[in-house]
Each structure stands twice: as structure tokens, then as C-alpha cells.
Chain A
Amino acid sequence: MVEKKVTVGSTDGERTVANIVQLASKYKSSIRLVKNDMSANAKSIMGVMSIGVYEGESFSIVAEGEDEDMAANAFYEHLK
């Protein structure tokens, strides 16, 4: 399991919900976005929408699986 903290950068352009879900689907690992006591599956559109990825919000990226390092890093790069 890999955990990485990230603060979301500007939300125009690349960091839409659809893009986040698409990115997550590329990896075999399960990827979760955690904020306070909420946690969302990054492969689920509804999940990502429920947690709300906005500019300036801080998340923990939790990846678990065979490609967890790659997944967590890719997410960090995508969201920061």
C-alpha cells in the first residue's frame, strides 16, 4: 500500500472527474482518494464526484496492488 498526500492545483483543463477516472482505470491497483473521514474509489465517476476534487483541497492518494507505486505517482502528478 502506498499513501501520498497532494493538494489539488488549478481545476481548469485536465483535472476533470472524467480524466481522473480514466487515469485510475489504466492501473490494476485499487486507488482511493481520502479526505477527512471520506474516501472515494478513484475508478468510479460517482465516487470521485461525491468527494469533490476542487482547487486547493488536500487529499491522500492510497494505492494498493501490483502497480501501486506507478499509480500513486501518476495521480500525484495529475492532481498537484
Chain B
Amino acid sequence: MYSLPLQEFIDEFNLEIVSGKEFVEEKTIITPEINRPAIQLAGFYEHFSGERPQLVGLIEHSFLSRLEGNFRRETLKKFFSFKEMPCFILSRSLEPFPEMLEYATESGIPVLVSKDKTTQLTGDILNWLKVKLAPRTTVHGVLVDIYGEGVLIMGESGIGKSEAALELVKRGHRLVADDAVEIKKIAHDNLTGSCPKMIRYFIEVRGIGIINVKQMFGVQSVMDSAKIDLVIKFEPWEKGKAYDRMGLKEEYEKILDTKVVCHTIPIRPGRNAAVICEAAAVNRRQKKMGYNAAQVLNDRIMQNIKL
């Protein structure tokens, strides 16, 4: 479970802190969702998601403004008795009711105001939280953008991943991360990899040491993050092992429960790994665009047999 400091959220959406500034530091957001509390304010608290940020728009605000004074007090008192709320947000620069501030402060909940319209703000918040709180993992590998395809090269230490990356950068492709790739699952079919800040743009090549790719090859040779489209596994060439010769059947690697197409490439001296990675990336692209070379060849042969 990941959490996000409330302050980061406030900064991102330019929210004004109306009350409870002293509680901001200890509050965190733990779910990538928000709640519009209209029905709770109307008195229905079954299935209430109090752990989400609560967003009040024009509808809730005008509903509250029509309630008779004492009743509104009771309504808000009950609502703010849920102390786990990370924050309470009013959109459209709406004016908070005095009793809102009173009960929110009592429960230690910051009250925030946004200038944006409610629906737009909802969408922006959901998108942003989804990325920020996405499931994540770190894998040992190299991530390179080859012709716009994010290719994650994996394999044991010393097999030549970094060397292949260096060659790929020389050939005009872009390095995202060497050795440690942070992967976030942004959507069910989107794994995005980036490099830990500490080692961004650096690469380690045995025998030379550490190289700064951005300094050496320029800004055009690096990227901060890339969607992972393909996994290539390097492994030492084993005599007698059957490697994929046709490419009709696709293998998959599972990362964060998402399947990514995976090729296993046997490595031995004299085999240019970078060119093979390039070919695999282009082939992947072609397949995505609807052309499958192996399938076309297969069909052609089958047709010949029929004749």
C-alpha cells in the first residue's frame, strides 16, 4: 500500500488551505479515488468511503445552504465525525460554512478550496492519483526506447545488458534506465518504467566504469520514462536448447500481473545483441500495426500446399 503526503496533493492542484493547516503534515492519501459526499450529507452512511478525499461541489453546497440552521449543524457534525478523512475540498471557490471549519478542525481535517470546476477537478485528481499511487516494483534490467518501443532487457549480471544499451544509444536510441528500473502499473495494460533519480542517465560498463550517457551523447539519447512494450531476456547460449525459430507463438513475462510479450535471446560472442534488440522492437511494432511476418510466411506456405 502506497501513500502520498497531502502537501504534495495541495501543491499539485494549487489548493488554498482555509483551515487546519497544522494537520496537513500528518495527513496522507492512500486511495486513488475521491468521494462526492452528497448522499452522506443527506443522511445515508452505508458504504461510506471516509478514507478518500471528500470533494464538495455546487450540488452539495446548495443542498447544505437550504438546510435549516440547526439541522445543518447536526448534518455537518455527523459528517466530520469521520476522522480518517484526509481532507475536505470545496471546488469553484465556494465559501465554506462556518460550522464546516469548526467541526473539521475539531476532527483534525484540513479544509481546502479549489478554483476549478467540480467535474474537471474530479477527472484531474483521479488521473493524477492513479499514477502517483500505482502499484510498483523495481526490476534488474535495462530499459531502452527503440524506435518508440520501450524495450526492457533482462538477464543475469555480466551478460551484457549495459553493453547492448550503450550500442543502442550509439545507434540513436534512447536510454531510460540502466540496472535498476522502477516500474509503475498506471493502467491495466500500461507498465511505465523510469530510472531512480539517484542514478538517472548513468550506465555502468565493465572495464570502463561509470558513464554519463546524457553528457556523452546528448539530451537526445535519454528519456525519463517509457511504456514497456517488450521484454527481451538475454541468456547464455546453451547447446541443444530449442530456441524460438518461427515466432508464431508468443511468450509472455508477467510484471505486476500484466503480461508483456517476451523474447528469449541466446547470447554468445560475436552475436550483435543490439541489432537483435532493434529487430525485435521493429517486429513488435509491425505486429501492433497488424503485420505478422511469421504468420504471412505460414499462410503463404499453406496456400501453396492447397494448390
Contact = CB atoms under 8 A, between A and B. Distances in A.
Interface of A: 25, 37-41, 43-47, 49-52
A2 B195 CA distance: 27
B196 A41 contact: no
B140 interface: yes
Interface residues of B, number: 18
Nearest to A52: B198
Contact of A50 (B136, B196, B210): B196
B179 A41 contact: yes
B179 to A, nearest CB: 3
- State the main secondary structure of chain B at its contact with A: strand
A39 B196 contact: no
A46 B199 contact: yes
Nearest to A25: B157
Contacts of A39: 137-138
Interface of B: 2, 136-138, 140, 157, 178-180, 182, 195-196, 198-199, 202-204, 210
A41 B136 contact: no
Contacts of B204: 44-46
A41 B198 contact: no
B199 A49 contact: yes
Contacts of B136: 37
Nearest to A44: B179
A47 B2 contact: no
A44 B180 contact: yes
A42 B20 CA distance: 44
Contact of A41 (B137, B180, B195, B203): B180
